A and B are shown apart, each in its own frame.
Chain A
Amino acid sequence: MKRRKKRKGEFSVPVASMGDIAFLLIIFFVLCSQFQEVDIEPPKSLDAVELNERPKMAVDIGLDGQLYWQGRKVDNPDAIEWAVRGMIESVSQKYANQNKGQPIPERVKVVQVRCDASVHRNIYEPVFEAIARGGGVIAAVGDKGDPDRKRQ
């Protein structure tokens, strides 16, 4: 049996696969990233709690009062009402087919609402009402903190 001789003083780090690992990491980051299309400064409250799950339905209200449903511009709250209604119905049907006789979980109905802190009532309130009419449960997104403290 022949023995391989190790040369003294030679150390080499295997770098051949570094590029592959790096590209795999990039792919991971790209797929996991969620890009924010609407620039919103969320409101603050001391009573804000952690929202465990990211809801499947999302409504954004921009600084200019523009409404967005799942990141796409919509003209009025009625469009949001019908979108919420339609989404809940389709998910409910799927759920009913899969789990016979079991009630639909509330988390299916949750609609995430992101609204800029400075938007006025005549814009956000009709949206809230529309979501409620459509059967959605509102998850209003905001930061935890004292609203009287100025943002840094």
Chain B
Amino acid sequence: MIPEEAIRVGVSAPDWRAALLACGEVMVNAGIVDPPYIDQMIATVEELGPYIVIAPGIALAHAKPSPAVRRPGFSIIVLDSPVYFGHPENDPVRLIIGLASPDPHSHVQALAAIAEMLSDDSCRAALFDATTPLDVRRVLRSFSERGSCA
């Protein structure tokens, strides 16, 4: 559920809106969502606040299932410099996981696996340090094969 073209590293964005825009554009290019989903992701934060910043340095960008979602999928964006969402504890954010699902179920297993990976100190650190999309691929492979990136 993480297509090759949905991984981008070294993305520069001046603020959280630009970061979510970049994340959304990648998801559009990967065929996961249509452009209206990008505005829906930004509106989610505008309405409900920076609760999508789920851990130090990490945001889980998403909106609810909508006709703008083509298929369940994820993107992974590593920013070249971090942005502030206004979260009291977890700012600033360098890693954005984009999520879209056409329903409340299709993405659950993949999301669980991503959460497990982010819970692992070595994999989380390796994602923050990624300088190429291939580095991110290696982290994903390493975690699925060995449960660790050490």
Note whether A and B form a binding pair: no
